Amino acid sequence: MENLKKQVGRVNESLDRYGVKFCLYKNGKFIDQLFPFDAIPRIIEYDKFKVLEKGLKQRAYALNLFLNDIYSKRSIIKDGIVPEEFVYDATGFLAERVGITPSLGVYNHISGIDLVEAPEGWYILEDNLRVPSGASYPLIARDITRKMSPSTFENNKVYENRDYADILRNMMDEVSLGGINVVLTPGRYNSAFFEHSYLAKKAGAVLAFPEDLEVINDVLYYKTFNGTPQRVGAVYRRLSDEYLDPMVFVQNSVIGVPHLMEAYRKGNVAIINAPGNGVADDKGIYYFVPRMIKYYLGEEPILNNAPTYVPYYKEDMKYIIDNLEKLVIKDVSEAGGYGVLFGRDLSKADFEKLKDHILAEPRRFIAQEIINFLDLRV
């Protein structure tokens, strides 16, 4: 480990050379930012890791059953487990998806579930089932550190992650409806463009821009350089639902593929992750995931949500209003860290304004206890 600490500069130089960037738009400017590397890892013992793995699989499976249900029979609503307004008012709910069953019934092919460790154990902060990103960074960082400091891996039992690309490729092949696999990127100026190109190469898929794809007779094709179209069986899309197909969603989208949703509806192409998954990672729906696990699987949740309150319920509303200065408030329709407010940090005027917003729009917010992260300093 000491050797790895000495190699931090070289590792970061290599990351820069390979273009391992994460791009941000801030104050109207495009910022190309190096992905930072820290030589000191978060060490998770094997036994704890296996519990986390089992709990995350349980959660992902229940969320997949929920997505299948609310776009078909809606049993969980009829049985009163989840109020219907929490589903139909979610910004990620797509009415256009109702009645479409994806290949093999898989909705959340890739799940990005945020975990945090507190002194009393692990909590899940939120679920990301739309277009989760970030897998490429630990993959390439691990490859580089293995070259820079082989002794770190020779002298420590490090859980392997080099099979991720094979798992991704196998998943795409499994759900494919006949044809090549493509990673659909909106382009160079997307925040995670490095990841799009990296994963396409590693998984043996074609990196495709919107103009490279065309739907003909409800079948999706990739336009090759020699003009010969190749049928596409699976699309790992890296753009949001609303820009996916200008014939169905945002009409002036120039990064979507016209008629893609019709090809999807006809069962001619798999889309990874499924459109409409946003309903399941709505922060209001997050509150009900433990109930989903019990409802669909008949099991107790292995991993806990952070302590959460929904002002939709009167008792929760009272607790939130009485303890607002001690809570973190999240706007359910926001993502990526946006729409998060700490009651303790607000001015008196903003504090009162937030309270009024919560009282007026209880479906719009959730509140959580502030978690003290486990102190990992050595």
The pLDDT tens digits for 199-239 are 999 999 999 999 999 999 999 999 998 878 999 999 999 99
Coil, helix or strand for 40? coil
Burial of 160 (0-12, 13-18, 19+ CB in 10 A): exposed
Query: Residues 36-59: pLDDT tens digits?
Result: 777 777 889 999 999 999 999 999
Angle at 97 between CA 94 and CA 99, to 5 degrees: 140
pLDDT band at residue 376, thresholds of 50, 70 and 90?
very low
Coil, helix or strand for 205? coil
Which residues have C-beta within 8 Å of that of residue 181, sequence separation ≥ 6? 169, 172, 173, 203, 204, 205, 206, 232, 233, 234, 235, 236
Sign of CA dihedral 235, 240, 243, 249: positive
Pick from 12-16, 241-245, 320-324: least confident: 12-16
Looking at the predicted structure, is the pLDDT value of residue 375 above 60? no
Max distance between CA atoms of the chain, in angstroms, equals 67
In angstroms, what CA-CA distances link 324 with 1, 235, 250, 317, 373? 44, 44, 37, 10, 20
CB 271 within 8 A of CB 308: no
- The pLDDT > 70 percentage for the chain reads 96
Cα 67 from Cα 242, distance rounded (Å): 18
Looking at the predicted structure, is the pLDDT value of residue 361 above 60? yes
Token digits of residue 353: 């304004």
The stretch 266-294 carries a mean pLDDT of 96
Q: How far is CA 286 from the centre of its chain?
A: 13
Residue corresponding to tokens 């000191």? 40
Query: Residues 59-78: pLDDT tens digits?
Result: 999 999 999 999 999 999 99
| pLDDT of res. 148 | 85
Average pLDDT, the chain: 91
pLDDT band at residue 243, thresholds of 50, 70 and 90?
very high
| pLDDT of res. 98 | 94
Looking at the predicted structure, is the pLDDT value of residue 26 above 70? no
Cα 197 from Cα 329, distance rounded (Å): 36
Quick one: DSSP state of residue 222? E
Which residues have C-beta within 8 Å of that of residue 176, sequence separation ≥ 6? 103, 233, 234, 270
Looking at the predicted structure, is the pLDDT value of residue 1 above 70? no
